A and B are shown apart, each in its own frame.
Chain A
């Protein structure tokens, strides 16, 4: 996907935030387009919240500059930024009713009472909680509070909506519901969303683009498909989804591809990515679901790997097998759909693995 970033909604230029010796955010430069659903994904402590708080105006960069809608945000406090935030714990005001909570952001606007009431009613309708307007926050369920927090932020019509793990406290089913709700609302209002999450599935299903963060820096920024299908380095490949890694040595670099000698797979030619030189050590990566597993010996076994099942994990709709092969230390992980007869309880059986050559990704880092 190509995004028009001529005039980004958010620009970060060499933004850092240091807490003493800790570099919570370390020299981040990135652009987020208007109307984009952008996610910051990464393990705990990688600086996602810190980055988001600098966008919202609750924290100031130690170095670097933040631009929102073309204007520098240096010295602009939270109450004068065109952003609104949905807090992780929702932060609904316990002493105000749901209606008053949602209308809170309109208190200082020059609007008639009727116009405010109208906007609040509309927002409550959008989250389908109009019938609960006169309740108190403590009388709502977690999912309902979440939606109220969302409505309270959206009613201000910000240019950017910031969400800090908004679905973290919800159970799995409710979370899936809220995800589609979030996506629907974002499409409807067309506001730029910046979502912080450590749930990769959430990031993959919701986002237009994702920044994978580690130790205060984005490792790779891209749309969900390219991140999953073509991770640029081992850390990203490891973080998103499951991955098999193979050690390999580069034999030669040719126009049609790179020849490698791979532990467990033998000599192969794969597509060249990054800068590689003959003789250097590289890593090859392959997703478990790209591998085709045969229980019977196929007529032609050229290019296939023979192995033995050493573990199986039942996942409901899928099964994951660990297959030990010669010349490769870790068992290769293979995922199959549970729609084939004969699956299940296959410990120690010999199997044959086949894979498309383009499923092998060359990683230099």
Chain B
């Protein structure tokens, strides 16, 4: 290593520690046999993890979050594909303005979106708050991410492939199904995963829009008031950490395998 880069190296190491050390405390204390979060450690235990499985409320919240995230990711990805296909088509007028409007939820504070959606639901449309309202809020939030991912994917690929498909006798729909979709698949997977994670840990909108059934972030927040429940939350956090690591690895594996071999057979 050159001498000049030494301070930078130290900075980089410190930065990585700063980023990941707090997260590493989570699994560490989740195996610690004590309710108090403090050093020295008290001994190894799995009882917090067992407690997780026994905690019906927590499992319900977790299930709610999964369902909402899966639905929101699926819906926003579909909208993202169609929207991106439309705005990357060269004939569309006002495409730029449409993109701007769709991207707005990225910059508008979610608290504003949350309040306005709450007002809309309760006072204008008069519908009960439920997981549905949370899901709708999350779709609104996830569509910009899906659009961004799908637009960059569709802009990158060659129009003449679609023309060739038309030329070879396929209808517009057949072309979309046999050429556009398979080629956009890596983008679709990326958009789905991104939307899924955005929805899974979203707090503000869920807080405003949830009815009796809570999602995981809200449940966790409500548990922080009880010190005795803290180790449960730690165990849960560790599981989520592991889950998201696996998700990222899976996404990367998919990307590396690429579209070439993975998805051609069934098409």
Binding site for B on A (CB under 8 A): 56-58, 77-79, 83-85, 87-89, 91, 93-97, 100, 104-105, 107-109, 136, 138, 152-153, 156
Contacts and interface: CB of A to CB of B under 8 A. Distances in A.
Given A85-B164, A93-B164, 8 more contacts: A85-B167, A87-B163, A91-B161, A91-B163, A94-B259, A95-B263, A96-B267, A107-B178
Contacts of A77: 166
8 contacts: A78-B163, A79-B171, A91-B161, A93-B161, A94-B183, A95-B264, A153-B167, A153-B168
A105 B259 contact: no
Given A79-B169, A105-B169, A87 B164 contact: yes
B170 A108 contact: yes
Contacts of A58: 163, 166-167
A100 B167 contact: no
B160 interface: yes
Contacts of B167: 56-58, 78-79, 83-85, 153
A97 B165 contact: no
Most chain B CB atoms below 10 A, which of A77, A79, A97, A107: A79
A57 B169 CA distance: 12
A89 B168 CA distance: 16
B105 interface: no
B163 A136 contact: no
Which DSSP category, helix, strand, loop or mixed, fits chain B's interface? helix
B168 A156 contact: yes
B158 A95 contact: no
A83 B168 CA distance: 9
Contacts of A78: 163, 166-167
B168 A152 contact: yes
A91 B171 CA distance: 17
Nearest to A88: B160
A84 B168 contact: yes
A87 B161 CA distance: 9
B201 to A, nearest CB: 34
Contacts of B171: 79
Nearest to B159: A91
Contacts of B114: none
A136 B258 CA distance: 13
A138 B258 CA distance: 13
B179 interface: yes
Most chain B CB atoms below 10 A, which of A57, A85, A93: A93
Interface in B134-185: 158, 160-161, 163-171, 174, 178-179, 182-183
B260 interface: yes
A84 B168 CA distance: 7
Contacts of B163: 58, 78, 85, 87, 91
A94 B160 CA distance: 12
B162 to A, nearest CB: 9
A300 B158 CA distance: 67
Interface string B117-142: 00000000000000000000000000
A89 B260 CA distance: 19
B168 A105 contact: yes
A226 to B, nearest CB: 33
Contacts of B158: 89, 91
A85 B169 CA distance: 11
For the complex of A and B, 10 pairs with smallest distance between CB atoms: A105-B168, A91-B164, A91-B160, A78-B166, A95-B182, A79-B166, A87-B160, A95-B264, A85-B167, A78-B167
B165 A94 contact: no
A79 B1 CA distance: 61
A7 to B, nearest CB: 25
B259 to A, nearest CB: 5
A93 B168 CA distance: 12
Contact of B260 (A57, A79, A95): A95
A95 B259 contact: yes
A91 B160 CA distance: 6
Nearest to A149: B164
Most chain A CB atoms below 10 A, which of B158, B161, B169: B169
A30 B174 CA distance: 34
A105 B267 CA distance: 14
B97 to A, nearest CB: 22
A156 B168 CA distance: 7
Contacts of A79: 166-171
